[in-house]
Chains A and B, each alone.
Chain A
Amino acid sequence: MKIEYTPSQAAFADAVKIFAKERVQRYAAQIDQDACIPPQVIQAIIDEGYIGSMISEEYGGMGADSIKIGILNEIIGGACSSTRGLLTVHGMVSLALQRWGTPQQKNNWLPKLAAGQLIGAFALTEPNVGSDAKSVETTATETKGGFLLSGTKKWITMGQLADLFLIFAQFEGKVAAFLLEKGTPGLQVQPLGGLIGARGSMIAELNLNQCEIPKENMVGKPGAGLSHVALPCLDYGRYTIACGNVGLAQACLEVSVQYSRKRKQFGEPLRKFQLIQKQITEMIVGVEAGRLLCQKAGCLRDAGDPDSVIQVWIAKYHTSLMANQVANAAVQIHGANGCSNNYPVERYLRDAKVSEIIEGTTQMHETMIATNSIRKY
């Protein structure tokens, strides 16, 4: 057993760190404040090829392994959670097509998604349906040439930005997945604001009023929409969020250590106080443990191991809780300054909270991990 990056992975990490610092992190506060990712950040991610990081080279993507995907999402997640969300949802749509698309669908959509000519968004959640995904109320009805989609999708990350939506709907009593292009008659995209965190996620509600799509826009088969299309997408989503949580916690750790060096009370820098040291220690251990869980999940994913699914649940569960604890400690160490948006830690804390909800709540993770473990032991 050897826990270290390959030279290629290490070089990739170095390049992403420079990119994140220069092209993303400097905009993070503005992204949070404006609830919008500026075009130059999106274009930089496209130009660097990161938008197609998860897509195979055959279709013009980077073909990155899961460890590199983890590195990318950790470092971008440390710079800006909202921008990491773009990589997550775009990847979910891309991978659904790469895994279950017909040759025609792959050839038509994947090169455009890899090049960032199209941005994808994953549309499962609805006003009445969250964790109970099999109960989606959006419907698809067959027409002579295709399908009519009707219903409402809510809390769709990058919904304001996306060109291509992966919609999950009931079709003949089974859940199926469909591609819906922006601009389709009957589709209304309503921006949603007022989020606690990840405010730049460009969340939208989608109102589908008899949106007509061609027959070839069904992805997978009816009945496999949830089990084989949505679940692998969500598995990728959870993995990237878990890695992003590690990055967010690492950012909290770094600014807290820097602050504890500079800030003096009672004539001493904060780092000299043992209760501050305890908090720093807990942050370090939490981050290291989270990173190891993500790396294990990444290795299992690359091996195609069925246990990778539960390992991703474990990694996402741990890192979501850990990121909240670490961000909370970071605010505490910063004192009153930590409660102000002049420092980034209040944003980190708000962003961390979102990670306990998206791609499966902490409570759904507890149910799934326990069910699996009870069966196993």
Chain B
Amino acid sequence: MEQYASTIRKFLGRFFKEDISDSDNFFELGFVNSLFAMQLVMFLEKEYAITIGNEELEIQNFNSINAITSLIERKKGKGAS
């Protein structure tokens, strides 16, 4: 899990420099925009070889490091690729 979080933090660092905790909602904090949302999906699919589907298109899956980590674990746990 920490390995996912570390890579996600590095990716987020390309978009904002502020320190955030793993539970901070960076959409609500106003650090990112809708274009970032699209780039985040591309990053996750490429980095973790997963496919994010229509059913996962909920903001709560993407709005914090913890949420994203959980999503990756669920996808990996399902054996999805």
Contact = CB atoms under 8 A, between A and B. Distances in A.
Interface of A: 100-102, 134, 220-221, 223-224, 226-228, 231-232, 235, 303-306, 308-309, 368, 375-376
B35 A231 contact: yes
B42 A227 contact: no
Interface residues of B, number: 19
B42 A223 contact: no
B34 interface: yes
B14 A220 contact: no
Interface string B22-66: 000000000000110111111101100000001001110000000
A227 B38 contact: yes
B41 A228 contact: yes
A228 B43 CA distance: 13
6 contacts: A100-B57, A223-B59, A224-B57, A231-B34, A235-B38, A309-B39
A303 B46 contact: yes
A309 B38 contact: yes
A102 B46 CA distance: 21
A221 B35 contact: no
Contacts of B46: 303-306
B54 A227 contact: no
Given A306-B42, A375-B16, A376-B14, A368 B58 contact: no
Q: Which of A100, A232, A306 has the most CB of B within 10 A?
A: A306
Given A227-B37, A232-B38, A368-B35, A100 B14 contact: no
Nearest to B39: A306
Q: Which of B35, B39, B41 has the most CB of A within 10 A?
A: B35
A102 B15 CA distance: 31
B50 to A, nearest CB: 11
A305 B57 CA distance: 20
A115 B78 CA distance: 34
A226 B14 contact: no
Nearest to A174: B59
Given A134-B34, A227-B38, A306 B43 contact: yes
Contacts of A220: 54, 57
Given A226-B34, A375-B16, A102 B42 contact: no
Contacts of A306: 11, 39-40, 42-43, 46
Contacts of A235: 38
